[in-house]
Chains A and B, each alone.
Chain A
């Protein structure tokens, strides 16, 4: 008994002393990514982009530092990015990794931005490109891959799930269901079952609802795409089903344009109006969705009555919604980087389903990965069948053609033009 007591007291002393010691730092590294370089390597990796803030990327820097603690990674904002990145890449202050855009392909003005990029399709780099949705990985004509998407964008509508649940309604999956749901909400006293920004053409309510529908009508028609890209006046007719749809959509009373006109811009105003909590559905782009999280705390209405919300595709056809898949932000590696190995190592770390999803979630944007379940806000897009996932850049529709379509839709939607007038004006719309 006495011996036991002695041993017990001794053990207590030792444990007590051990408890006084400093806590052992946690092992940061997790299973998954395996460093291929000397983890004690010291270098500086600079990522250039046009964002004022890129905290989501900085969070990835911190995670990468768990493997390579001596590597300093920083994000640098380049003013007038699209125009300046070429100069920056040619200059003394060239970044190791930089933001790039696939729409720059083939444009002389942006040639430097493409020419400085390393071919990321090189298997030696070990990038897990398979985790990214195939239709937003855009190779150049010669087959190289100067950039990989790290975010994607799409059009859709924010849905107040709490409201749907409260009223016992389901989120619509087809156009008929959309009209029915709008009617049901209206019957329940909701003046604006569906809203959106309507004052400008860019990402207007009309574009957000009809552009995915339009893509669905021409995606499989190479001839149509060719004519549209050529701004051939006869190509205007390819817009007719879309313009008729927007007219039907307005006629079906899903939106009150006067109410929508009160929304001042397509970002803050859209979000804050949605957070008022009385709008079941609010059309917006993925960019706007990325700003919702931060603005929750700025909305007194949302703070007072918080609700759950998701972002879903707008079902403009009877068959269901189209998922318009657009690469948002793409990363290139400067092939002339003095830290090329470490830059590639960071890309190998970042281009994985987990890291891309994590960064997209932190940024509030849609992940470019095949698995969209990581962020519940965008999870509905993962349910869209592959046949309805459309990427204009993949089937070749150019920006110029798209702008013509947007203008036409806007003019018809706002009642400035008839359908025929808009079709006739294809190719003549100014920016």
Chain B
């Protein structure tokens, strides 16, 4: 109904505009027509003056002749001879007609003869009454158009009464001198001058309406009869009109013989007796409305286009609104579903935490039971934290607020981190795991490392999660040339032998809260957000994610990302010229390691098994050219890594530095490796930089023992300032740090922290853990203030953010404020220690 009203209103407005335009153009057209008509009247008046001048000129010539003839008392023949000798115009002749006989002489012979000058006006009907001929010089005396008796041409004649003598000159007789001009001569001169009046015609009529001169469109022998024939009117009106036409200047509208409307302009020929000059032109020639119709057409077309455009746009907009309404409805439902799902997913671990806490409280005396409860509480807490992180991530992605924070990072560290994180699960599920690195030329890249990690970890953890014990998970990371300038293409492929996915699930697997349901994995915990986040992250990084999966057989995810190469690269990695033996049953790994070592300047030799390696080492030893380093894989079929190392040590007795390589976590194999005599550990995959660092370390330290991971003596006595407004958080962090022999002092807010730093003596604090959201002064402002302190020690003290603001932009914000690192709450004490050590190492 409303749409109809809008359409009707539109149509009414358009119609109103059109009516206005039509009326306006009509008004303009009438104005223009009026002006053109006035112009035509004026032109007719001008033509009257031109005509009058012409007629007067011709009459004057006739007058001159008549004067001369009268003054000289000529006979007919003398007068004729005089005129013959005095004018030379070819088309003009003169007739001298005696009024007694209406016969006389012509100055030119009859057509077809050379000497017959006799002319008769007896049957012409012009000179029976000559009262209309005034005295010489008084007025223009012109005949109507008539047939020249001498040549049959339609002609006009200017006349004067003259007196001619008889041949004996005793008597005189009245005669008329006619200066005869062919109509055709006049017609050539008598046209409207303006080009726009090409269809205009002129006529001249006498007081009775009879034509003196007649234009083509003028019909009948009388203009009045012509008018009455095609313009029916009552006798009285027509008489009034004719009186007006013959007595004034003006114009009227009339129909011509074609039924066409014309404008008749009229003006008296002043020097004649009651003659009137008429101009006739088709009205359409004066109407300049063509452009107006064009204007109306354009306006109409424009309005129509606008109307239909609006109409279709309105329909389109309504459709969009309907879609939006449906989407809003769907979003609302999704929100409800989301909240329902979240409620379930949050309550589940919370239920575990609360329930197990209660159980632990009741079984405080039972250490084993309490430890088990605490272990499960820890698991549930971690799951809850993951869930919360994922929810926040997906929320930010969906709202479009997630921004990338690119920074220079090492892909080596990323891979190491990836392996470290996945190792516990791999170990727990006893999954065969392989990680191949191919052609990784560029170590340092420039991208949002956090998001890249998130992508890689999500995919790998999914593969591990959905692969049953005894299964296989293989990771392949390779670098290719990118089409984007300044980038490398990282192709990250994770293949598993897990449960696979159905095509139906694959169609929706990137939607939030999608989880593959399978009886075998019902117990698997997950937020259902991992793939959704991964997909959006990949999109955000401008990459692609591809999935090949078959139910029961496994899944392969491939992520392709074009990542800019960082400006900083470790191009100067060159080892001393050393001999290295590499032992591994995997020929690919062997070759890859050999290439890397050779590129580092080392000379690599290869052995595919422990016994082969033993033989090669022995031969070298006997020749006095021991290998400088031996690198041994952990897992080999015939003789594993520890056994090989042990036999190298026992059989050759050499102190050759030996590095153990393995895809397993070092902590799991550390004990055996140490017992066997390994000097160090390199995790798979082997990076060029890792090999360079490890080999340099070994060569530098010779066969120094590996520093135990749980030796925290280096941290003893450190004093740390913690800016934390929350009492519980302060209590937790201070308690955790005290476990490592670290003392802590508290600042309740940023301002207190700044004050304490101002007051502190140099070296009072090793570093500051700074909360961000605090009363009085937040952590960012506090950091900026500290950085501006005059005391160089105070202003350069390491400040690590310790905050629940865990997004990458928060990290960037902290770093920009002058902080040196970022630890997200809830805090992982291992990360805290690692960060403290990093700071300690950097400070020397």
Contact = CB atoms under 8 A, between A and B. Distances in A.
Interface of A: 2, 5-6, 9-10, 12-14, 16-17, 20-22, 52-53, 55, 58-59, 62, 65, 72, 74, 76-80, 83-85, 87-94, 297
Contacts of A76: 154
B7 A53 contact: no
B229 interface: yes
B569 interface: no
A87 B111 contact: yes
Given A13-B307, A87-B149, A79 B125 contact: yes
A16 B304 contact: no
A89 B151 CA distance: 9
A13 B11 contact: yes
Interface string B189-223: 00000000000000000000000000010011110
A92 B153 contact: yes
Contacts of B125: 79-80
B258 interface: yes
Given A53-B225, A93-B152, A16 B18 contact: yes
Given A6-B7, A80-B124, A91 B151 contact: yes
B304 A89 contact: no
A72 B112 CA distance: 29
Given A10-B308, A13-B14, A53 B123 contact: no
Nearest to B234: A297
A302 B10 CA distance: 62
Contact of A88 (B4, B8, B152): B152
A431 B629 CA distance: 163
Interface string B114-146: 000000000111000000000000000000001
Nearest to B12: A9
Interface in B140-195: 146-147, 149-154, 182, 184
Contacts of A84: 123, 147, 149, 152
Interface residues of B, number: 44
B296 interface: yes
Contacts of B307: 10, 13
Contacts of B308: 10
A47 to B, nearest CB: 13
B7 A58 contact: no
Given A83-B123, A87-B110, 17 more contacts: A2-B3, A9-B7, A9-B11, A13-B15, A13-B307, A17-B18, A17-B297, A20-B293, A21-B297, A78-B152, A80-B147, A87-B149, A87-B152, A91-B111, A91-B153, A93-B154, A297-B235
A62 B257 contact: yes
A77 B220 CA distance: 10
A58 B257 contact: yes
B300 interface: yes
30 contacts: A2-B3, A2-B4, A6-B311, A9-B7, A9-B8, A10-B304, A10-B308, A13-B11, A14-B304, A16-B18, A17-B297, A21-B293, A52-B221, A53-B220, A55-B219, A55-B220, A58-B257, A76-B154, A77-B221, A80-B124, A83-B123, A87-B150, A88-B152, A89-B152, A90-B111, A90-B112, A91-B153, A92-B153, A93-B151, A93-B182
B22 interface: yes
Contacts of B152: 78, 84-85, 87-91, 93-94
A interface: dominant SS: helix
Interface of B: 3-4, 7-8, 11, 14-15, 18, 22, 110-112, 123-125, 146-147, 149-154, 182, 184, 216, 219-222, 225-226, 229, 235, 257-258, 293, 296-297, 300, 304, 307-308, 311
Query: Which of A10, A65, A78, A87 counts the most chain B CB atoms within 10 A?
Result: A87
Contacts of B8: 9
Contacts of B124: 79-80
Nearest to B147: A79
Name the 3 nearest CB pairs between A and B, nearest first.
A88-B152, A80-B123, A91-B152
B219 A58 contact: yes
Contacts of A65: 258
Contacts of A6: 7, 311
A55 to B, nearest CB: 6
Nearest to B150: A87
B296 A20 contact: yes
B7 A5 contact: yes
Given A2-B3, A62-B257, A22 B293 contact: yes
A5 B226 CA distance: 54
Nearest to B25: A20
Contacts of B216: 72, 74
B117 to A, nearest CB: 15
A110 B187 CA distance: 30
B151 A79 contact: no
A10 B304 CA distance: 8
A383 to B, nearest CB: 32
A234 to B, nearest CB: 38
B304 A53 contact: no
Contacts of B293: 20-22
Contacts of A22: 293
B219 A17 contact: no
A297 B236 CA distance: 13
A164 to B, nearest CB: 30
Contacts of A85: 152
A12 B18 CA distance: 13
A381 B300 CA distance: 62
A79 B226 CA distance: 21
A293 to B, nearest CB: 11
From B3, B8, B220, B296, name the one whose CB has the most chain A CB atoms within 10 angstroms. Answer: B220
A78 B153 CA distance: 9
Nearest to A94: B152
Given A79-B146, A87-B151, A59 B225 contact: no
Contacts of B154: 76, 93
A83 B150 CA distance: 12
Contacts of A79: 123-125, 146-147, 149
A20 B22 contact: yes
Contacts of A90: 111-112, 152
Given A20-B296, A83-B123, A92 B257 contact: no
B761 to A, nearest CB: 85
A92 B112 CA distance: 11
A9 B151 CA distance: 72
A93 B184 contact: yes
Contacts of A17: 18, 297, 300, 304
A78 B147 contact: yes
A6 B4 CA distance: 8
A90 B110 CA distance: 11
B311 A88 contact: no
Given A6-B311, A79-B125, A80-B123, A53 B221 contact: yes
A172 B321 CA distance: 93
A90 B147 CA distance: 13
A431 to B, nearest CB: 17
B13 to A, nearest CB: 12
B584 to A, nearest CB: 77
Contacts of B14: 13
A80 B308 CA distance: 74
A254 B14 CA distance: 79
Nearest to A12: B11
Contacts of A12: 11
Nearest to A95: B152
B721 to A, nearest CB: 74
A76 B144 CA distance: 13
B198 to A, nearest CB: 13
A65 to B, nearest CB: 7
Contacts of B235: 297
A15 to B, nearest CB: 12
A331 B549 CA distance: 106
B205 to A, nearest CB: 14
A93 B182 CA distance: 9
A204 B184 CA distance: 43
Contacts of B112: 90
